[in-house]
Amino acid sequence: MTIALGLGIGTQNSKGEWLETFFPAPVFQPSDEATKGLQQVLSIAAGNTTTELSVEHLQTISESDAVDQSFRDLAARFVDSQQLAVLVVIEEDLTATSTPEVYLKLHLLSHRLVKPHGINLDGIFGLLPNLAWTNKGPIDLDELAERQLAARLDGEIVEVKSVDKFPQMTDYVVPSGVRIADTARVRLGAYIGSGTTIMHEGFVNFNAGTEGTSMIEGRISAGVMIGSGSDLGGGCSTMGTLSGGGNIIIAVGDNSLIGANAGIGIPLGDRCTVESGLYITAGTKVTLLDTNNQVVESIKARDLAGKPDLLFRRNSENGRVECLTNKTAIELNEALHANN
């Protein structure tokens, strides 16, 4: 079974190299008929392929009864636009070999068609050019100065919003049921569940995100997934695979709270709380307390990874990190989080 199909339009530099690709309607796990229809009319071999499409190719797709109607309609619109078009077919979940293929995978995540860690993203950095993201679209950095001069001579300005390998998600995908106060802080490839609110200081990296209703005022690093009903306080941090977490998959369970300026380097289970200002890494020494606040034992935080109903706090008198059972689930205010 084919993993994904994407018919997209995008931007190339003056050398004919792809800079980025927009897939308005990526398809996850398409029917065999949909895949074979496109491969047959374009004479494309089976397997993972990236095929640049001419106007003639697009016309052939739009007129062929062998092609699924949704692709026919999209191809017809692309013909009229005269934009650079490409077809990406992913039959096996292998390391990507082209920039459009990487963009299709990132679209699948932000369209909520696959969840973080649900598709192979190995090697993507080498296929994502570092670009100037501007009010005139993405521009190759080697061509930016000339574009800026040309714009000035025409009485215009090229505004550079960022210089990065990843664009902001909302220039490509706006998922339903979300609020994002500062769209520049959510990268394409983020998975934002319905009901999520991301405040101005919240940040969500690619291959990371939220399951559902959550208030995000802290940082969700690459590879981290936040459970439904959980709250990340202002300035808090989650240690991702790109920020010191290594191969450990950090996650936060349902109905948990990471307080302001706190952070985690271990997975949290459901209904857990980390008090404000406390950063817990795998090697943090934690003192376990019983229901009478008596010391039970001292262990490393990694031994508590993924366990539910825990409250982590720092003892203000002796400075030790303590953990006790937390039976109170974090209930987010329904009115505050209504995004519809």
* Cβ atoms of residues 303 and 319 within 8 Å: no
Q: How far are the Cα atoms of 13, 68, 99, 165, 287 from residue 148, in angstroms, in the given order?
A: 15, 42, 25, 20, 59
* Cβ atoms of residues 207 and 128 within 8 Å: no
What whole-number distance in Å separates Cα of residue 91 and Cα of residue 94? 9
Catalytic positions, written as ranges: 217
Question: 65, exposed or middle or buried, with CB in 10 Å at 0-12, 13-18, 19+?
Answer: exposed
Helix/strand/coil percentages in the chain, nearest 5: 20, 30, 50
Q: Which long-range contacts (CB under 8 A, 24 or more apart) does 210-217 make?
A: 211/254, 213/332, 213/337, 214/332, 214/337, 215/332, 215/336, 215/337, 217/260
